[in-house]
Amino acid sequence: MDPLDQQQQAARTWFESLRDRICAEFEAIEREAGSEACFLYTPWERVDVTGEPGGGGVRGQMAGEVFEKVGVNVSTVGGRFSDEFARSIPGAEEDPRFFATGISLVAHMANPHVPAVHMNTRFLTTTRRWFGGGADLNPALPYDEDRAFFHDQLRAACDRHDPTYYERFAKWADDYFWLPHRNVARGVGGIFYDRLEGEFDPNFAFTRDVGEAFLAAFPPLVRKRMGMPFNEADMERLLEFRGRYVEFNLLYDRGTLFGLKTGGNVDAILMSLPPLARWK
């Protein structure tokens, strides 16, 4: 097998295995809450701009007592970018052929005290190749200790690879997950990185550690907060906060744009949207 093909397959296999572990953990939390909710998996196939098959993926989604709506998607697509979109992708200007594989997760929680969360990691190749992704916490009712715990797990993952990563990628997250039209942050941050080029093995190892850090960080926060009492005002705050989440994902999110511009599955792309939100 060609070395590049081996890298692509290794990344795909990892993202699929991470999905399976995350979904199993989330289902276990539902069982602890007395719910029988489980993920439903919907495969989809992509047609390239040339009209030929262009890969596809599996959309996993669950609605339960703890997770009001959670989606965990893995997609592996390839083919050719449209001429217009190729001009915005590094390495695709001279050759629009590409390959991309990744995992994307968004969880909207039933209890306003439990933070919503986003996690995504991906590997993309054109005439260049790079990893990107990150994770960020989005609480409607923030707790300083939850933010610190979440960031500590991400910091540890970063520090194992490069002492400059956490400060760089945490600031990148703060800058990226920002709603300029409201002049507010989407949540309480995390890390975000993109176009991490260079040697495959260390960058792949870092990307795996980001996934492991997410698994270490988020489920404990869910278990800590999911039984807390809440009132109508808490729910009102949750629904209004979700409105800002919707605004970010539809106006600024790179993954949403990439999926729509490359003929991805619309339901999988928009699974990040909450089931209920409110604007005053």
Residue 118 annotated in active site: yes
The C-alpha atoms of residue 81 and residue 191 are separated, in whole angstroms, by 28
Q: Which of 118, 151, 161, 181 is catalytic?
A: 118
The C-alpha atoms of residue 10 and residue 151 are separated, in whole angstroms, by 27
Three-state secondary structure of the chain: CCHHHHHHHHHHHHHHHHHHHHHHHHHHHHHHCCCCCCCEEEEEEEECCCCCEEEEEEEEEECCCCEEEEEEEEEEEEEECCHHHHCCCCCCCCCCEEEEEEEEEEEEECCCCCCEEEEEEEEEECCCEEEEEEEEEECCCCCHHHHHHHHHHHHHHHHCCCCCHHHHHHHHHHHHCEECCCCEECCCCEEEEEEECCCHHHHHHHHHHHHHHHHHHHHHHHHHHCCCCCCHHHHHHHHHHHHHHHHHHHHCCHHHHHHHHCCCCHHHHHHHCCCCCCCC
Residues tagged active-site: 118
